[in-house]
Structure 1
Amino acid sequence: MSNQSEWITVGELADSFAPAAFILPNLADLAGKSFTLNFSNGWQIAHQFEAERLTWVAADGHSQGSAPYRATSVRPGIYLVDFVKNENGQDWSISLVLDIGSASFTAVIGRMPSAETTREGLYSRALAGQALTGVEVEFLQGTLDKPWQEGACPHAPTSELVGLRNLYRYSPTEVYEHIYLNEGFYSWQCLKGGEVGLCDTDRCHYYKIADQLYLFVWREKIVPTLGLVMIDMIQHRSDGKIFGYAGGGFEELSNFPVASYCSVLNRTEYPDE
């Protein structure tokens, strides 16, 4: 393997993943349905689903619009809805885990760093006590079609994946390994595909959605990237998306689906002392 760094853009990664990708179908289950999302922070946003577009309106007027969406499910009754919204010139990645059984949801709101932020450099950010990645993410929770009450959403941060070493096959040509190091970081490497030989350790977040079902979110620092997948450890399937700048500039975004057949390679158990 060459010592030369061969990092690629998110748009190039999308092209690499596309052929024969193991993505799940975009479900029509939600078409014609509506939900009012009552956030724990007080927001109340009505969502109306059509066959290909989602429309949302906030009760206080702070947000409204429509966008194409993708809806998938790796576990019956739990949907991952993903779309990109543009408001006031800012693009936001929006991912909603809609849990119909518990009438609750978890929302993941992310955005890419500005051109100015990407030029700060990792060393400068480290000395300033900032996160090394400029990718921002926020997790919000709430209830579906009923008032919010504390504890109404069963989704919670978890350490259950920590120590696992997992293999993810996204297509016949794209294979990755994840090592979940601790509650804030994981390591990845590309074993086969467009990023073969590349690896890094990045910030991540874990939520337990149901038994053996996890929401895993990561934020890369070399090429600004927001990744998000639902991992079903029973069905050995994952599904989600990767979001970032399509090219070397900051004008165009790429938000493409990813799904895999996944398996556990091993689990590391550390001694107590």
Structure 2
Amino acid sequence: MTTSSDWITVGALADGFAPEAFILPNLADLSDKVFTLNFASGGQIEHRFNAETLSWSAADGHSSGTAPYRATSIRPGLYLVDFIKHENDLSSSISLVLDTHSASFTAVIGRMPTQANSAEGLYGRALAGKPLTSVEVDFVHGSLDRPWQAGQCPHVPTNELTGLRNLYRYSPSEVYEHIYLNDQFYAWQCLEGVEKGLCDTDRCHYYKIADQLYLFVWREKIIPTLGLVLIDMQQHRSDGKIFGYASASFDELSNFPVSSYCQVLNRTEYPDA
């Protein structure tokens, strides 16, 4: 069990989650498939999948590369594809929610802070009007294999999780609780596992992907961390990843899968103000 000061790196967290983890299998059925992502903001990137790697190529020629990827499907016709893009001496976390039912996608692009940015104190960030977390994230939407038209992507911000208290079992030894406070913040605590006894309130983002299926993304402020999961309230399962620096030296990234069996503990209903 940890004490109140035992914060650990994302690499150590990955080691704790690994034994007997309830992760979904990496899919083979994307192999040899091609998806062309047409962005609502303009631009087009082709993603070509092989058995273990995907290659991307922008129509304007400004971006291309190859990387290992993980692909899962928490519901038929919907894929979560995750990989690390290394371009121009920068590394970004890329997570794609590919929705073949609506022929649309949501891309989540995350970036870790530099060591210098991470060393900036929370008090100083607060006084400067900055977010307390130094982890950056962008959400972009678009259409699959057809030109973009307004309203084509049904993935939208939601408050349907607000007030929910949910329990997540990631392995026999790793158990967490989430409390979704409002449209910007949630609280978490580790009930069992390598972070047992730790808790915090962090910045988060919610998107509704389909009926009772949500994309939940959080950005931690103590240890630079980006977490991303799809939460299926029908099947009581979640699947996603955690991304951050493997060690305190900031010289290696850790990007590991997390899946859970989840259950609702209760829901708080607030009276009208």
Same fold, judged at TM 0.5 (above): yes
The runs of at least 4 aligned residues of structure 1 exceeding 2 Å deviation read: 1-4
Match of 1:236?
Answer: 236
The letter for the 2-side match of 1:120 is E
Aligned partner of residue 205 in structure 1, secondary structure = strand
Aligned partner of residue 215 in structure 1, secondary structure = strand
Match of 1:213?
Answer: 213
Match of 2:119?
Answer: 119
Change (3 A) 1:97 1:3: closer
The letter for the 2-side match of 1:29 is D
Aligned partner of residue 171 in structure 1, secondary structure = coil
Show CA shifts across 1:216-262 (max 9, x none).
00000000000000000000000000000000111100000000000
CA distance in structure 2 between the aligned counterparts of 1:216 and 1:269, rounded to whole angstroms: 20
Moved more, 3-12 or 109-118: 3-12
CA distance in structure 2 between the aligned counterparts of 1:237 and 1:203, rounded to whole angstroms: 22
Instruction: Determine if the alignment matches structure 1 residue 173 to structure 2 residue 173.
Output: yes
CA contact (8 A) 2:107 2:141 kept: yes
CA distance in structure 1 between the aligned counterparts of 2:3 and 2:190, rounded to whole angstroms: 16
RMSD: 0.9
Deviation at 1:119, TM superposition (A): 1.2
Deviation at 1:2, TM superposition (A): 7.2
Change (3 A) 1:4 1:266: closer
The letter for the 1-side match of 2:37 is L
Paired residues, what number? 273
Between the two proteins, what is the percent identity of the paired residues?
Answer: 75
Deviation at 1:41, TM superposition (A): 1.0
Moved more, 253-262 or 115-124: 115-124
Change (3 A) 1:252 1:228: same
Match of 1:193?
Answer: 193
The alignment's TM-score, normalised by the length of structure 1, stands at 0.99
Change (3 A) 1:3 1:175: closer
CA contact (8 A) 2:2 2:196 kept: no
CA distance in structure 2 between the aligned counterparts of 1:154 and 1:128, rounded to whole angstroms: 36
Which residues of structure 2 form unaligned runs of 5+? none
